[in-house]
Amino acid sequence: MTTSVTVQDDATVLTVAGEVDLATAPALENAIDSTLAGKPGALVIDLSEVSFLASAGMAALVAAHKRAGGTRIAVVADGPATSRQLKMTNLDQVFALHPTLDDALSALRQN
């Protein structure tokens, strides 16, 4: 799993690629924590390049949501590897779920 951080439209975007499982979820959590330490107004966690999302990865997302403070969080997930699991576990009710990065950025601009 790899992560990278960029800033787009006043939102910090954390792009995640590869498999997020029990072995890699701590690295995802560290990347999220590092990003949140900068106190961005909005954080988009882009999972569009994730090929596998295990429960440990979903737990890292929930933990990020709890620690976000005033940072708005949106998640980009589409397809069977990511959005299906998030919807089946009702995590799409916990944080805003979008099919594309453009959709997430647009929604954040409107709020």
Whether pLDDT at 79 is above 90: no
Span 15-74, pLDDT tens digits: 999 999 999 999 999 999 999 999 999 999 999 999 999 999 999 999 999 999 889 999
Whether pLDDT at 111 is above 80: no
Whether pLDDT at 99 is above 80: yes
CA–CA separation, 8 vs 12, rounded Å?
A: 6
CB 20 within 8 A of CB 52: yes
Domain extents for the chain? 2-110
Whether pLDDT at 10 is above 90: no
Residues 6+ apart with CB under 8 A from 31: 3, 5, 14, 16
* pLDDT category of residue 95 using cuts at 50, 70 and 90: confident
CA–CA separation, 47 vs 73, rounded Å?
A: 13
The domain covering 2-110 belongs, at the CATH homologous superfamily level, to: STAS domain (3.30.750.24)
